[in-house]
Structure 1
Amino acid sequence: MSTVYIGSIEGDGLTVADADAATGALTPLGVVDAREPSWLEFSADRRTLYAVVEEAEGAVTELDVSDPRAPVVRRVTPTGQAGPTHLCVHGDHLAVAHYTDGTVTLHDLATGERVDALRHDADEPHAHQVVSRGEWLVAVDLGADAVFTHRVEGGRLVQHARCDLPRGTGPRHVDFDGDRAYLLGEYVPGVTRLDFRDGRFTPVGHALVTAPGAPETFPAEVVVADNQVYTSNRGENVIARSSLGGELLQSAPTGGDWPRHCAIDPTGRWVYVANQRSHEVTWLPRDAASGALGEPAGRVTVRGACVVVFA
């Protein structure tokens, strides 16, 4: 049995649940009073869980998860910016991406105090994701149609490189497989493959993740696992499964509406999908050998479900 945390937007807070590895079934245990926890991230020792507060006055909720099934709110720290959608631990700092005003903030990990902020150079920047990659802090900006690489020097964010995508791509999230990165576009529903070396991205290919005849689609999450790429496609309401080279292999219905996030469980046998508009988390069986997905095997109601992580 694994412990699962389900974040929400316009929901009831942070849901704690048990996941049965044999059946995939989720059993909710309770809800922690955390405001708009639309993204979740662990500390390096996994004893602390950080949750964004996706509100006009952004903040970060820090939870003690020493007992995974009984999280306790330790503190809530303002970020000083609007609409945070993502965060990550980067060395001795916590980095937070703010969609509303396109700013990345840097916070002291021990105190939560904000030490720096950087707004990306664009007409309408929308910083959507931050990822720690060794010495580099990667920031995906949907409004700038670019992915940035930053260093932290003396507690300050310093831009190292910028990789521009075609105008209107709307890059949202990135995942890595060694030195290859897979960057998901929200407005052009596809994955751009990039080489990542010395803190710089170089595009090497692009492929759509929608099936022919699909309705208007806005992909939300990209996960690379076992030489395959999975994306959650809102609108089409499927998990798309592609080869690393970009061939679309499968479009598996999620059983819900507006799949914002998906996650593969630690056994590799299940994919959990947070369906935001239908207010539920569904789970699909996954063949560990082929990566193929089956039909939804079950669902639980979670109002505004938007992210699923395993303790």
Structure 2
Amino acid sequence: MKIKLLFLSFSFSFLIVTGQNTPMYVGTYTDGFSEGIYKFDFNLNTGELTNLQLAIATENPSFIAYSPNKKYLYAVSESLGGTIASFKIQEYGQLKFLNKVSSHGEGPCHVSLNKQGNKAVVSNYRGGSAAIYNISRDGKLNEASQVFNYNTTDKESHAHSAQFFKDELYIADLGMNAVYQYKLKNNIYELTTPSIFKTTENPGPRHFALTKNGEFIYIINELSGSITSIKKKASGFEQIDFDATLEDTYEGKNACADIHLSKNELYLYGSNRGENSIAVFKRNKVDGTIEKIQTMPVHGDWPRNFTLDPSGKFLLVANQKSQNISVFSIEAATGMLTFLHSVKAPRPVCLLF
């Protein structure tokens, strides 16, 4: 009886320990030491990253995304003749290749899925296009159902990211200085707003974050080192704020990259490549405006993308050039960051929980 109880106690302890960890996948560029998509174990209590493994060998998976049920993973291949691939997640986190299709443009740099998990959208930076795909029940991608080409005779498009929201689709175009809004009608996405904000400058909208109710949209601008804050109204869209991501004293080159809201939507984070920092903003949940409260060095070079862990207690940064991932704790009361530690990773570009 004592042996049985000891065994049950050991088993229970083992379950507690393993329950502290969650997988984190890493999209990379494979022009160096990287071979494809990697996986870490992340400790939700301590913020430690351990057990680095190659999940699957694949070329330049620079951006990756889950299906809503986390049974499948999708990755762009930012290589000549761009593609988007689907993978099935195996029992121990390894990935099994399912299929791949054309991204319909060079330099695919972003992929996202709708909440139902039956549609994906890919943005092609060099091709200046975006493509929508229907996803089968087995996780495989069908050929593109719609392709939007944004290049004109006098301007060069650089579509950089896209997100579904209910029956809407938003696409950020860095080259055209626009964020397009589409609406789903008869299973086809139709353009309803050529751009949700207007500018005569060249900010270069790259990524954006939406509040859970879709009322506010925060756009990080790669070229101007700024965030444009937009409020969605019944009559259209209104710009409510425009804030610098850089310190006033910084004079070097910079290219903003990624942007995320905290889980409680009280704080907003943006990455600066050049200043090599995360800009932290406090958000007014009533009027949607933001105020910068911290500039946190990333302890690395060229913070491409970053993410918040499932608990909302940690922020992790992929430093592309220095080939490391930095982990920060998030102070619940203030949203501010504290550096914890860093681990080496081969050419990290995108982090996925």
Instruction: Please state which band the TM-score falls in when normalised by the shorter chain.
Output: over 0.9
Match of 1:60 in 2: 84
Between 80-89 and 126-135, the greater mean CA deviation after superposition: 80-89
1:139 to 152, 160, 171: 171
Pair 1:20-2:43 in alignment:
yes
Match 2:223 to one of 180, 184, 187: 187
Structure 1 position 201, deviation (Å): 3.2
Q: CA deviation at 1:239?
A: 0.8
Does 1:229 pair with 2:268? Answer: yes
Corresponding residue of 1:99: 125
Partner in structure 1 of residue 13 of structure 2: none
Deviation string 1:90-126 (CA, Å, 9 cap, x unpaired) is: 3532211100121011222124212221112651111
CA drift at 1:155: 4.9
For the 8 Å contact 2:159–2:172, the answer to whether it is kept is yes
- CA offsets 1:208-260 (integer angstroms, 9 cap, x no match): 11111123221100111131110111101111101223321101111100001
1:201 is aligned to 2:237: yes
Deviation of 1:276 after TM superposition, in Å, equals 0.4
Q: Distance in 2 between matches of 1:77 and 1:301?
A: 32
Whether the aligned pair in 2 keeps the contact of 1:160 and 1:199 (CA below 8 Å) is no
Q: Match of 1:34?
A: 58
Task: Pick which of 154-163 and 241-250 moved more.
Answer: 154-163
Higher relative contact order (CA 8 A, sep 6+): 1
Match among 146, 156, 165 for residue 199 of structure 2: 165
Q: Which residue of 2 aligns with 1:220?
A: 257
Partner of 1:125: 157
Distance in 1 between residues matched to 2:206 and 2:256, nearest whole Å: 8
Mapped partners of 1:65, 1:197: distance in 2: 40
1:114 aligns with 2:144: yes
Indicate conservation of the 8 Å contact 2:159/2:175, yes or no: yes
Q: Which of 328, 332, 337 matches 1:284?
A: 328
Q: What is the identity, as a one-letter code, of the residue corresponding to 1:265?
A: D
Please tell me the residue identity of whatever aligns with 2:276.
N
Matches within 5 A, 1:257-276: 257-276=301-320
Kept in 1, the 8 Å contact 2:104–2:129? The answer is no
Give the percent of matched residue pairs that are identical in Structure 1 and Structure 2. 24
Paired residue for 1:89? 113
**In 1, distance between residues paired with 2:90 and 2:69?**
10
1:240 aligns with 2:264: no
Matches of 2:338 and 2:321, distance apart in 1: 22
Structure 1, residues 26-48: CA drift from partner, whole Å, max 9, x if none?
11341111221111111122211
1: CA distance between counterparts of 2:51 and 2:204? Answer: 34
Count how many residue pairs are aligned between Structure 1 and Structure 2. Answer: 309
Structure 1 alignment gaps of length 5 or more: none
1:112-159 CA distance string (max 9 Å, x none): 212221112651111100100110010000000000011344554421
Partner in structure 1 of residue 6 of structure 2: none
- Distance, in Å, in 2 between the alignment partners of 1:290 and 1:89 is 31
Please say if residues 104 and 130 of structure 2, whose CA atoms lie closer than 8 Å, have aligned partners that are also in contact.
no
TM-score (norm 1): 0.94
The structure with the largest helix share of the pair is 2
Q: For 1:280 and 1:171, locate their aligned partners in 2 and report how far apart those are by CA, in whole Å.
A: 26
**Which stretch shifts more, 166-175 or 191-200?**
191-200
Whether the 8 Å contact between 1:96 and 1:105 is mirrored in structure 2 is yes
Q: Give the structure 2 partner of residue 253 of structure 1.
A: 297
How far apart are the structure 2 equivalents of 1:166 and 1:183? 16
Determine the structure 2 residue equivalent to 1:298.
341
Compared with structure 1, are the counterparts of its residues 198 and 105 closer, same or farther at alpha carbon in structure 2 (3 Å cutoff)? farther
Supply the distance in 2 between the matched residues of 1:222 and 1:213 (Cα, whole angstroms).
22
Q: CA deviation at 1:197?
A: 4.0
Secondary structure of the 2:257 match is strand
Q: Does residue 4 of the first structure (1) align with residue 24 of the second (2)?
A: yes
